[in-house]
Structure 1
Amino acid sequence: MGFRRGFKAEANRIALRVRQQMDLAPYAPIDPAAVCAHFEIELLELSEVEPNSPFLGEHQDAFSAVTVPRGLTTAIVHNDRHHPYRQRSNICHELAHCFLGHEYAPPLLENGDRSRDSSSEAEANFLAGVLLITNEAAIRIMSDGLYHQAQGIYGVSKPMLEFRLRVSGAQTIHQRRMGVPLYSSR
C-alpha cells in the first residue's frame, strides 16, 4: 500500500515541529511520555487501568496501545508489560494518530471483529518511526558513526533503527558521501 503523495515529507515535518515545540534539536531523541505531557495527552499504563487484564499475561502481544477520548481530553492507554523500546514505539504510534487528526474509532466492531482502517494504521506506523528517528537524526547516526549506539540513544529496536536508516535515505547518502560499506563489522 502506497502513501498519499507527499506524506513521508509531511511526517518528517510533523516530527520536526514536535521537537521544535519542545525546544529540541531536529536530531534529538524524544521521550514519548514527555511528548504526551507537552501536548496534554494523558498517558495511562494498562496495569493501572485494568490490573487483571489478560493482555498483561499470556496474551500480552494482543494489545499494544489505544487512543481514547476522555471527556474533553485525549488519553493513550499502553501495555506497560512490553519491552521499553516497544512501549516507546506503541506510544508514538498513538501520538501519530493524534498528530494526523485520525478519527477515533472503537477498537471493536458490533460483531466483535477488530476495527481497523489500514490506511490510517499505515500512516501512524510510519509517523511513529519518524517521531522516534527523524530523517535528520538518521543522517546524523550514519555521518557520526553512531549506528552501534543508536538503539540506546533513540530507544528503538534494531528493526526500527534499520527501517528508519533505510527509508530516510541516510544509508544511501552516507554510502555515496563516504564510498564505504553501510555498516562496519565490530
Structure 2
Amino acid sequence: MMSGFERGFKARANRIALEVRSRMGLSAIDAIDPLAICRDLDVMVIPMSNLGCDVSQFLEVDPGAFSALTVPCGIRTAIVHNDSHHPLRQRSNLCHELAHLFLGHRHVPPLNEAGERAHDRGMEAEANFLGGCLLMTNEAALHVLSNGLISRAQLIYGVSKPMLDYRLRVSGAHVIHKRKYGLG
C-alpha cells in the first residue's frame, strides 16, 4: 500500500526530528518541549485568546474548527494556536506548525478568494507525519516497547493515546520489537 509520501519522506522526517533533538541537546529518545523549540528558533507563539479580537467562535462555540496557523510576522514567524484545546493537543498543534517550517513549506493564506479554507493536502499530510515524529521519534517508539513503558509513554512524551498508538504503529516499532525478541 502506498503511503502517498515521496519515497524516503518518512525516514527524512525522523532524521529531522533527531536533528531538532540534537540541536536542543537531547537524545533520540528524549521528549521535546515544542515551546522551547519555538524559543530557540525565535518563533513567536500566540495563544488565540490573546489576539485582542472576538475569537469566541473558535474558543467556545466550535473549538475544533481551528487548531493552529503559522504566519509570517515581519522578519519573524508566529504560530497562532487554539489555547482552548487540551494541552496534549496544543503540543501536537505546535509540532505540526513547526513541521511546516522544518519542511520549508510556503505560507498559504488560510482562506481563498471565495472565503473557503485553502490548504494543500500533501503539505498537511507531511506536517502531520513530521509533527508526530517530533513528538516521538522512531527510536523513542521502540524504546517504549522494549522497556515496557506503554502505560507511562503518554506522560513521558506528552502525547495523546491516539498519537501514541499511531507513532508505535507507523514507526515500525511493533515489527522491530517482535523481530528483536522473537515474538509472534
Pair 1:46-2:41 in alignment: no
Pair 1:18-2:20 in alignment: yes
Pair 1:130-2:133 in alignment: yes
Structure 1 length-normalised TM: 0.94
Pair 1:28-2:30 in alignment: yes
1:133 partner letter = M
**Aligned match of 1:80 in 78, 83, 105?**
83
The aligned counterpart of 1:60 is: 63
2:125 partner letter = A
In the alignment of these two chains, the number of paired residues is 181
Q: CA deviation at 1:173?
A: 1.2
How does 1:1-186 map onto structure 2 within 5 Å? Answer: 2-50=4-52, 52-53=54-55, 54-180=57-183
> What is the rounded CA distance, in whole Å, between the counterparts of 1:27 and 1:69 in structure 2?
32
Q: Output one character per residue of 1:35-75: Cα deviation in whole Å (capped at 9) or x when no partner.
A: 10011111110001145301011111100000000000000
Identical-pair percentage: 58
> What is the rounded CA distance, in whole Å, between the counterparts of 1:58 and 1:12 in structure 2?
36
> What is the rounded CA distance, in whole Å, between the counterparts of 1:178 and 1:149 in structure 2?
21
The aligned counterpart of 1:184 is: none
Q: Any runs of at least 4 consecutive aligned residues in structure 1 with deviations exceeding 3 A, and if so which?
A: none
Report the RMSD for the aligned CA atoms in angstroms. 1.1
Counterpart secondary structure, 2:29: coil
Q: CA deviation at 1:180?
A: 4.3
Return 5+ residue gaps in structure 1 as ranges.
Answer: 182-186
Structure 2 length-normalised TM: 0.95
2:141 partner letter = A
Q: Output one character per residue of 1:85-132: Cα deviation in whole Å (capped at 9) or x when no partner.
A: 100000000000000000001000010110110000000000000000
